[in-house]
Each structure stands twice: as structure tokens, then as C-alpha cells.
Amino acid sequence: MPGTTLKTEAIVLRSIRYGEADRILHLYSVRRGRIGAIAKGARRPRSRFGGRLEPFFRLDLLLHEGRGELLTVTGVSTVDGYPRLRSSGPALNAGARACDAVLRLLDSAEPNPPAYNLLCRYLAMLDDPDPARAASLETALAFRLKLALAAGFAPELASCARCGEAEHLSGFSGAAGGVVCASCEAGSFALSEAAHRFMVEAIGGPLTEAPPAEELALRQAERAISETLEHHAHVQLRPAA
Ligand SMILES: [Zn+2]
């Protein structure tokens, strides 16, 4: 509603320099999903916003809603800056891919608390002093699967996505949106048992306990997620690692 103030927590997904001293922010917020905002004068040396308007910052924000498409940042305080995430190359990469996936997959102004909490949890994991496990391909794919689930695009993993058969699930079809049985495998690619098991365990278990798997199984799982999102959400994600 124009002329009102919105108070919400949000994660900075992307921060773009704009004009002389401003910043344009792509935010993922608790109260209103995706938000675009402008922070005027944010790049002036003594800006009251400090260095907080950078990717991955979790902020408490006050935003003024005018007539334009962008809201205006009027107040900001830090909930978490994830400082250790910023000092690790692999963690930075993983965080950037996660924010990019949220940016592409969750583009509506609808709140989605599971998606918001998932992103916060992943960034907190990447803020670990030893981010190797958090930044692993296993965890990156578990994040993607859970994000797809939160967005309403989880692949069907329990039975054949074409005929409902629960046995002989040997392929995956992005068009069908899940695993397929031997009789429905036209247009699918071969999915190993290990890749199938990885997806089932990763989507059902906590993000902190992504199951270990071989590279080949992980690449099949990544392809399965990517093709599902391409067909059903019309979104193309960057490679997971
Ligand atoms: Zn079938």
C-alpha cells in the first residue's frame, strides 16, 4: 500500500551500485517474499547504513513504500552478518549459489517462511569455522531439494511419476517431474539407486545431515533437480558446485 512503512526481517540476495551513491537491493523477506529496495546514499563514507547492505546479511529493515516499484530503506539493523562465511572461498561460492537459486525460484511477493528459514539455516552453516562440510556438494544439493520443496516443485520420489508403480524405479524424467519405472522410461535418464536414495534422504532429513554420496550419484541428483525445475518452474539454476 503506497505511503506506508513495512517492517520485516530479510536477507540481502544481491546488492547493486546505483547512481552516485545509492544501492539497489534484491531482498528475500519474511513478511513479503521477494522485495526490491533502494538505499539512498548507502555508498557515502558516513552512511548510516554502514557496510550492512551486502549479500548474505540478515537484517531487520524498515522500508517505506511509495508509488514506485522499489521500496526505500529507511532503517536497518543487523541480525547476523555471517562474518566467517565471507572469509572462506568455498563458503562464499556456496552462499552465492544459494542466494541465486532463491532469486530465480522464489520471485513472488508471497511470504514463504520455510524457504526463508532454510536460507538462514544454510547461511548459518556456511558461517562455520570449518565450512568444508557445509560447502559440500551434498549439502548444496540438499539445500536445492528442500528449496524446491518449499517452492512447491519437489520431484516425485516415492513412485513412478507417470503410472504410480512403486517398484523398478530406474529412471528420472524432468517432464514427468520425478522418478519413472522401467515401462515409463521413454525420455528419461538412468537414475542409480544411490542417487535416488540420496534425494530421498536429503529431502527428508535435516540440512545439517545431508547424506554422503559418490560424485556420480550426486551429479545424477543435480540433473534430476535441474530438469524438474526447468520443466515445472521454468527456471534454470547455475551448477550447484
Ligand atoms: Zn511407470
C-alpha 165 to ligand 1 mean position (Å): 5
CA of 91 to the centre of ligand 1 (A): 40
Ligand 1 center to residue 154 CA distance, Å?
18
Q: Please give the distance, rounded to the nearest whole angstrom, from the Cα atom of residue 197 to the centre of ligand 1.
A: 18
Q: What is the 3-state secondary structure (H, E, C) of 124-169?
A: HHHCCCCCCCCCCHHHHHHHHHHHHHHHCCCCECCCCCCCCCCCCE
Nearest to 83 by CA among 136, 126, 115: 126
C-alpha–C-alpha distance, residues 116 and 175, integer Å: 27
**Which residues contact residue 58 at a Cβ distance below 8 angstroms, ignoring those fewer than 6 apart?**
9, 10, 11, 78, 79, 80, 81, 82, 120, 123
Report which residue type is found at 46: R
Ligand 1 center–CA 185 separation, angstroms: 7
pLDDT string in tens for the chain (241-residue length): 568 999 999 999 999 999 999 999 999 999 999 999 999 999 998 898 988 999 999 999 999 998 889 999 999 999 999 999 999 999 999 999 999 999 999 989 999 999 999 999 999 999 988 877 789 999 999 999 999 999 999 999 999 999 999 999 999 999 999 999 999 999 999 999 999 999 999 999 999 999 999 999 999 999 999 999 999 999 999 998 8
Other CB atoms within a 10 A radius of the CB of residue 3 amount to 8
What predicted TM-score, i.e. pTM, was given to this entire model? 0.95
Give the Å distance between the CA of 181 and the centre of ligand 1. Answer: 4
* 8: its cell numbers: 520485516
Residue with cell 538412468: 190
- The rounded Å distance from CA 206 to ligand 1 centre is 30
Cα–ligand 1 centroid distance for 155 (angstroms): 15
CA of 161 to the centre of ligand 1 (A): 7
**What DSSP state is assigned to residue 72?**
E
Residue 231 Cα to ligand 1 midpoint, Å, equals: 19
169 CA from centroid of ligand 1 (Å): 8
